[in-house]
């Protein structure tokens, strides 16, 4: 029998690998769909799959006291992060945006601190500021006026995602990992369905196969399957420990962007991503 901690690390690692393909897939999908339609359509598809799982496995409805937390998860990871990243990827490449993912463990930790009332040591805040300064400096030097909106959208996306991760991780201890994302998707389904209908493209004849494949990936894997493994990992292996696996995501994402999309991955991107990873690792150690 596999120990809970080992199972948690394995599930968390698989979740990170799945998430690593999200930004490259989104970059491809926005070539054929608007960011609003992409965000709503992926949520609707994942919600229908999640609802089928909940019904098929006869899961109990969450308590009323859990609805507010589920709403936060939905706002953070169902609506906020997908929409903001889709908008950002109209201004920046996926390789550029993936550098910002290096801040995600820090954002998750910060919201965990705020909700958990923890008191990190001073070294935590030093690493925090260094990591933030590295990302801000990179965006300022590389972005220019044309990419400033994309950089700001990515920062907002990271903050919302960190909030959704922290809230979902805490809630998964009571409801279970896959149940949290499934109920959050179901909660957001009515609004996302209306939005998908309103924002639907006038015609699909001109939408190429890559855009459809991108939509399929972010709907099934990024929006549902990845969270099944991720929240299971957090619940079984521990938020602090398994959360550090997010540090691998920028490297995996940069590799995918270069291999699958042929996007240039400059040495400066790799250097900044490595620096951010080191800063976040230090911050997590002293949290």
> 86, 15 in Cβ contact below 8 A?
no
Task: Say how far apart CA 252 and CA 233 lie, in whole Å.
Answer: 19
Task: Say how far apart CA 14 and CA 112 lie, in whole Å.
Answer: 22
Q: What is the pLDDT of residues 212-239, one digit of tens each?
A: 999 999 999 999 999 989 888 877 777 7
User: Tens of pLDDT along the chain (287 residues)?
Assistant: 445 567 788 888 899 889 988 878 888 898 899 989 999 999 999 999 999 999 999 998 999 999 999 999 999 999 999 889 888 888 887 767 777 877 888 887 788 777 656 677 788 788 888 888 887 777 667 655 457 888 899 999 999 998 998 888 888 878 887 899 999 999 999 999 999 999 998 887 788 899 999 999 999 999 999 998 988 887 777 776 677 777 777 777 777 777 777 777 778 778 888 888 888 878 767 76
Residues 6+ positions from 133 with CB-CB distance below 8 Å: none
- Positive or negative torsion for Cα 72, 73, 76, 80: negative
Task: Say how far apart CA 269 and CA 138 lie, in whole Å.
Answer: 8
The pLDDT value recorded for residue 156 is 94
The tokens describing 95, both together, are 């390789």
Task: Say how far apart CA 124 and CA 160 lie, in whole Å.
Answer: 21
The pLDDT value recorded for residue 145 is 47
Closest CA to 85 of 38, 134, 16: 38
> 99, 250 in Cβ contact below 8 A?
yes
Residues 6+ positions from 7 with CB-CB distance below 8 Å: 236, 237
Taking the domains of the chain in order of start, what are their residue ranges? 4-286
The pLDDT value recorded for residue 240 is 66
Q: Which residue reads 């991503």 in tokens?
A: 273
The pLDDT value recorded for residue 49 is 96
| Cβ neighbourhood burial of 145 (10 Å; 0-12, 13-18, 19+) | exposed
Task: Say how far apart CA 77 and CA 278 lie, in whole Å.
Answer: 25
Our CA angle for 246, 252, 254, nearest 5°, is 115
């Amino acid at each position: 029998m596999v120990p809970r901690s080992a199972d948690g690390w394995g599930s968390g690692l698989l979740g990170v690998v799945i998430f690593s393909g999200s930004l490259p897939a989104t970059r491809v999908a926005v070539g054929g769909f608007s960011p609003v339609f992409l965000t709503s359509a992926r949520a609707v598809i994942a919600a229908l799959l999640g609802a089928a799982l909940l019904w098929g496995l006869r899961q109990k409805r969450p308590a009323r006291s859990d609805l507010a937390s589920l709403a936060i998860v939905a706002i953070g990871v169902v609506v906020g992060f997908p929409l903001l990243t889709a908008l950002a990827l109209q201004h920046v490449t996926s390789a550029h945006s993936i550098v910002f993912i290096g801040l995600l463990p820090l954002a998750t930790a910060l919201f965990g601190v705020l909700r958990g009332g923890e008191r990190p040591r001073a070294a935590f805040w030093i690493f925090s500021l260094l990591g933030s300064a590295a990302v801000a400096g990179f965006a300022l030097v590389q972005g220019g006026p044309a990419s400033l909106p994309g950089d700001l959208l990515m920062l907002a996306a990271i903050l919302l995602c960190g909030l959704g991760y922290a809230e979902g991780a805490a809630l998964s201890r009571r409801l279970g990992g896959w149940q949290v994302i499934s109920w959050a998707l179901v909660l957001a389904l009515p609004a996302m369905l209306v939005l998908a209908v309103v924002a639907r493209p006038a015609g699909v004849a001109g939408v190429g196969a890559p855009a459809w494949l991108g939509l399929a990936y972010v709907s099934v894997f990024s929006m549902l399957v990845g969270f099944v493994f991720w929240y299971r990992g957090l619940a079984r292996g521990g938020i602090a420990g398994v959360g550090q696996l997010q540090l691998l995501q920028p490297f995996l994402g940069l590799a995918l962007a270069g291999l699958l999309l042929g996007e240039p991955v400059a040495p400066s991107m790799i250097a900044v991503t490595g620096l951010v990873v080191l800063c976040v690792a230090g911050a997590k150690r002293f949290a």
